[in-house]
Amino acid sequence: MTVPAMAVMHTPEPESGSGVLQVGDVVVDPAACLLWVRGRREPLVGKELALLTLLLSNAGRVVTTEEIEREVWNASPAPEKTIAAHILRLRRRVEVDPHRPTCIRTVRGMGYIFDLTDGYVAFARRCEEPLVADRDGAVP
């Protein structure tokens, strides 16, 4: 095994607190610009860092495209394809299968949600009240 590979294997995970966000096995340390996914560490910078931090901070709730523009693009209107491209890059880092996302989901006409409900349907009604499926998969 090479020295760089050993160094990566022994890289400690972030300590809780001090702004570290964790949802499931996805951990972001915004201060260190680092992402841990299933024990794998990667640098995360710029818009991807800001976007994933926003999604994790609001896990389980739809983050509207307007909120994304306001918080990530500093109120500048971002082209829809620009946001979608950043979401796709995050899915490639976070999802097991980026083409069948289970964590970062699109809510058509509204925005995006970071949700880990083990396959249950999770949407947001009026972007404030999560609507979660019951054990049988039915949505009330």
Q: Determine the Cα–Cα distance for residues 108 and 101; give it in Å rounded to an integer.
A: 14
Residue pair 31/21 in contact (Cβ under 8 Å)? The answer is no
Give the chain's mean pLDDT.
Answer: 77
Higher pLDDT, 18 or 119: 18
- DSSP assignment of 47-111 equals HHHHHHHHHHHTTTS-EEHHHHHHHHSTTPPPPHHHHHHHHHHHHHHH-SSTTS-SSEEEETTTE
Ordered by where they begin, the domains of the chain are 19-132 (1.10.10.10)
The pTM of this model reads: 0.72
Q: Determine the Cα–Cα distance for residues 106 and 99; give it in Å rounded to an integer.
A: 12
Both tokens assigned to 113: 């949600």
The one-letter amino acid code at 5 reads: A
pLDDT band at 114 (very low <50, low <70, confident <90, very high): very high
Q: What is the mean pLDDT of residues 32-56?
A: 93
**Which of 5-14, 84-93, 94-103 has the largest mean confidence?**
84-93
